[in-house]
Amino acid sequence: METNKRQKVAIDNLIKIATSAYDQINMGDIPRLSLPLRDKKNIEFDTRYNVWKYGDIQSIRSAKTAQGAMMMLRTVYTVDFIREMIKTNKSSTLREMYYISEGWKNAKFCSQDESNSLAEDLEVATGCMREDFKLRPEESGAKVYGDLNFSIPTTKGVWRKSNCIDDVSAEGFSVPYKVEEDSFKIELGNAKFIIAIETGGMYARLVENGFSEKNNCILIHLSGQPARSTRRLIKRLNEEYSLPVSVFTDGDPWSFRIYASVAYGAIKTAHISDYLATPAAKFIGITASDIINYELPTDKLNDKDVNALNAELTDPRFGSAFWTTEIRTMLEIGEKAEQQALAKYGLDYATDKYLPDKLVNIGILR
């Protein structure tokens, strides 16, 4: 498979980094690289687009110190490694890149956190995504079930189409790490909206109960904190195909953050929020009000839960009256609940009563 346009742009931008370092050395200067500071104090919530973005504070990576020189050396080695992967049509996991650096002698990484961080730095510096570098994560992407078709190229370069009901098992279609149009094409069937679901158990319940077929919707298993490819796919379906998005999670502070990462982006990936976040996504997960109104089985909030909820009260992603009320109510009752708590009323309750009511309330179903 030949190098595509996105990969060519990635190579060009990466080579500019290495060339800049070489030119600075050639002129007798200490090589340096300027990047947006990837720190909480330089993260801003863009209220116009409702996503996290980096601010104007810049950090300078310089070879002036021994540590800085080592990082500059690792940067050049990594650029060359990525260039060679794209050239030979290979790919690597982030974990593999860390181990490959063992052969780079003085340039080897001290930890995988260090190599992961450099991959993110290169994304920021080039304006490209690591998927364009042919770097892939260890974690899997989404599982998708619903009436739509995905086409991906085989290893022989032949495009192969799969319908996400007729051509898959009950587990659904497993999404690859890269879902850009050059390697992942989408064709809608009768699907009218999307439900992104936190847990595998609830995803399986909706598939088994025929919720997708009855309501002409797409089910996406987030598998906890969603992978980048999952969030990118949701954004594409929403923006390119005008499909409303709803997110169905447990009722606890960590699940609220899963929703927020889908809708508004995460601090860690603020440099690509425009690619990943779907601000139009609506929350239909378990709330504190649901715990009270449905008399759901619960667990007690622990200290970490309480601290997380209090932090969310100052998080602009949760700044609406709805979220302020629900978070404060959860703190008052001191309880949290899982999606599966709805099974108190039977295995069909989530699909026959809870979700239809929620979807009507947000205007997706009538």
Across the chain, the runs of DSSP E, i.e. the strands, are: 32-36, 43-46, 51-54, 58-62, 92-93, 135-136, 143-145, 148-153, 159-163, 173-174, 185-188, 193-197, 217-221, 245-248, 282-283, 299-300, 335-336
What span, in angstroms and rounded, lies between the C-alpha atoms of 4 and 1?
9
Catalytic residue among 99, 241, 275, 349: 99
Which residues lie closer than 8 Å to 288 by C-beta, 6 or more apart?
251, 326, 327, 329, 330, 332, 333, 335
- Residue 13, classified by CB atoms within 10 Å of its CB into exposed (0-12), middle (13-18) or buried (19+), is middle
Nearest to 244, CA basis, from 107, 91, 358: 358
Residue at 366 is within a domain: no
Would strands 299-300 and 335-336 be described as parallel, antiparallel, or unpaired? antiparallel
Q: Give me the number of domains the chain comprises.
A: 2
- Residue-by-residue DSSP string for 346-362: -TTHIIIIIHHHHHHHT
What pLDDT, on the 0 to 100 scale, is given for residue 230? 95
Residue 159 has φ and ψ, to the nearest 5°, of: -75, 135
Six-digit token string for 236: 């594409």
What span, in angstroms and rounded, lies between the C-alpha atoms of 140 and 193?
23
CA atoms 357, 361, 363, 366: torsion sign: positive
Six-digit token string for 86: 């794209």
Domain that holds residue 75: 5-136
The answer to whether residues 128 and 192 belong to one domain is: no
DSSP assignment letter at 242: -
- Residue-by-residue DSSP string for 290-303: HHHHTT---EE--H
The answer to whether residues 212 and 280 belong to one domain is: yes
The answer to whether residues 126 and 174 belong to one domain is: no
Q: Could you give the angle at the alpha carbon of 133 between the alpha carbons of 132 and 135, nearest 5°? A: 105
Distance between alpha carbon 366 and the CA centroid of its chain, in Å?
30
Amino acid identity of residue 127, one-letter, is G
Residue at which a domain ends, from 104, 121, 136: 136
The answer to whether residues 101 and 152 belong to one domain is: no
What pLDDT, on the 0 to 100 scale, is given for residue 298? 97
Query: CATH code at 32?
Result: 1.10.10.10
Six-digit token string for 67: 């540590």
Q: Which residues of the chain have pLDDT under 70?
A: 1-3, 139-141
Residue at 149 is within a domain: yes
CB-based contact 345:259 (threshold 8 Å): no
The answer to whether residues 69 and 155 belong to one domain is: no
What pLDDT, on the 0 to 100 scale, is given for residue 184? 95
What pLDDT, on the 0 to 100 scale, is given for residue 45? 83
CB-based contact 103:89 (threshold 8 Å): no
The answer to whether residues 180 and 109 belong to one domain is: no
What pLDDT, on the 0 to 100 scale, is given for residue 1? 41
Query: Is 98 labeled as catalytic in the residue annotation?
Result: no
What pLDDT, on the 0 to 100 scale, is given for residue 139? 64
Residue at 72 is within a domain: yes
